[in-house]
Chain A
Amino acid sequence: MLNRETIANLVLAALLLAVPLAANAFGQPFYVTLATRVAILALAAAGLNLALGLGGLVSFGHAAFFGLGGYAAGILATHAFSGDPLLFGWTGTNQMPVIWLVAMLVAGLVGLFIGLISLRTSGVYFIMITLAFAQMVYYFAISWPAYGGEDGLSILVRNQFPGVNTMKPVSFFLICYGVLITALAFFVLVRASRFGSALQAARQNEVRVATVGIAPYRIRLTAFAVSAAITGLAGALFADLNRFVSPSMLSWHMSGELIVLIILGGTGRLFGPLAGAALFVVFEYVLGGLTERWQFFLGLILLGTVLFARGGLLGLLAGKARHG
């Protein structure tokens, strides 16, 4: 009943849960933070995976959504802390569920707008136009002094979640883990649905989709906006993890990193983003401890993946992806 991919997925999910819990039990909060970073990056990449993996939309601008989610969290928390009104007398909030909703809404709406224009192009042009939009957001954040400009914005106290002490690293990890698993469950449902069918078919053959009477543009636009919203949610969590937001979350390096995560883990695979994020953070930690030039070696690994293991880590673990 269980195929190899399901087993690989369950093992990955269990590992991500077990490692930080064990680290916490042994009094090693650093590893809990590392695992939280994995979960959040995996969530951001899972958002991108919807557009890129299922829809074939190579967005080189998802840092914009990641950063917008981060700024949504930072700005709301700042206002909640200072009591200055933000909009219509609302003084922001430090409640995570509300922050998440705002982050997803903002990222999703901006994604809708960017998608509206960039999805009229394809291929290299799509990559470049999404990059251009993201850089616009980046430079806007740098040049806007109200929320820290180039220096970024600190969140003095981590935002709260009802009934949980979010200052405890392991509690915050569990929140992020829960959000990640929820997002992956959403991904499973969407992938198997009518919408997911149309989206994946549009990646494989746009003409075929139009010929059966489905306009690919609207399908892709919806996927792009939903993808942006999920990546935005990850951004809000990332801001809370670091208790700091800066324009670097919006930069094109971040967009590239998200694509790298997906390629390392396995494009379009459910647990590709998690596998990729785990690899990436482990490399960053292990190689980064050995040499400042760890990204050179990451580059080699990426090259190896693209040349010899196109399915990424999950392709190695579970073989070729299968459709019904």
Chain B
Amino acid sequence: MAEPVLELSDIVKSFGALRATDHVSLDLKPGEIHALIGPNGAGKSTLIHQICGTLRQDSGTIRLAGRDIGHLGVAERSRLGLGRTFQVSSLAPEFSALRNVMLAVQAQQGSSFRFFKPVMRDASLIDRSMAMLERVGLQDRARIPAAELSHGERRQLEIAIALALNSKAFLLDEPMAGMGPEGSKVLTGFLDTLRQEAPILLVEHDMDAVFALADRISVLVYGRVIATGTVEEIRRDPAVRTAYLGDHA
């Protein structure tokens, strides 16, 4: 069995008396889409924050490509290959789509401590960034400020940025949220091919997308993973049915 790319072991996080993450172990294997689902308040966001480094776990380890990243800051984890998108798009609003991607490319190429060469005449930045925008179909919107892009386009732009980071693992936080049915379909198709590039930890409410894409699903309820398995196993799991999916699953 292949080594997991991202591996959480026994993560615990409490806020006072509330245990938001309760001994969570989870892994992401090469080439797979692992969906993380759970009702509101299950602790999905808290878990994501711990993986990205905005929150520090109380105990447990997080490994990326075999390396312990549990004590690193957000920027360092990103540099090591954790590419994420946000539940609510988080971009530099005044910058064009292109410059948003260029920021990622420049970080990827190394130092941002270069003071004199204009970025807009730097072919190594622009060419690669345009290539990333093309992959998500935003090439015609490259010069539009991020603030003026549509909701769906901002989602695509975030994915282009994650692509530009040469990520080893993608962490996508509700990429379908707010997308129309047509947009969801296109995005589902895109994510389906993206898994070949790097495995995806997909946090998603859109069950159609989850069932269409996921190789494995983990169900988080009250901070605990109550089940992990294939789509079929999860559909059949009685605990999941009562806790989360209800009767329409």
Contact = CB atoms under 8 A, between A and B. Distances in A.
A200 B93 CA distance: 11
Contacts, number: 115
A209 B93 contact: no
Most buried by B among A194, A209, A211: A211
Contacts of A194: 106, 111-115, 117, 119, 122
A52 to B, nearest CB: 16
B78 A210 contact: yes
B90 A197 contact: no
A192 B95 CA distance: 12
Given A193-B118, A194-B117, A204 B99 contact: no
B78 A213 contact: yes
Contact of B165 (A205, A213, A321, A323): A213
Contact of A215 (B73, B93, B99, B115): B73
Interface residues of B, number: 41
A321 B94 CA distance: 9
Contact of A195 (B95, B107, B113): B113
B103 A204 contact: no
Nearest to B104: A212
A207 B78 CA distance: 11
A200 B91 CA distance: 12
B124 to A, nearest CB: 11
Contact of B95 (A201, A207, A210): A201
Given A210-B75, A211-B78, A211-B84, A198 B112 contact: yes
Contacts of A216: 75
Which bucket holds chain A's interface residue count? 20 to 34
Contacts of A213: 75-76, 78-79, 104, 107-108, 165
Contacts of B115: 189-190, 193-196
Contacts of A212: 78, 103-104, 107-108, 161, 164-165
B75 A214 contact: yes
A208 interface: yes
Given A189-B115, A208-B91, A323 B99 contact: yes
Give me the 3 closest cross-chain CB pairs, A-B, nearest first. Answer: A213-B78, A213-B79, A192-B118
30 contacts: A189-B115, A189-B116, A190-B116, A192-B120, A193-B115, A194-B115, A194-B119, A194-B122, A195-B113, A195-B114, A197-B95, A197-B103, A197-B119, A201-B92, A204-B93, A205-B91, A205-B93, A207-B74, A208-B91, A208-B100, A211-B90, A212-B103, A212-B107, A213-B108, A214-B75, A214-B107, A215-B76, A323-B99, A324-B98, A324-B120
Interface of A: 189-190, 192-198, 200-201, 204-205, 207-216, 219, 222, 321, 323-324
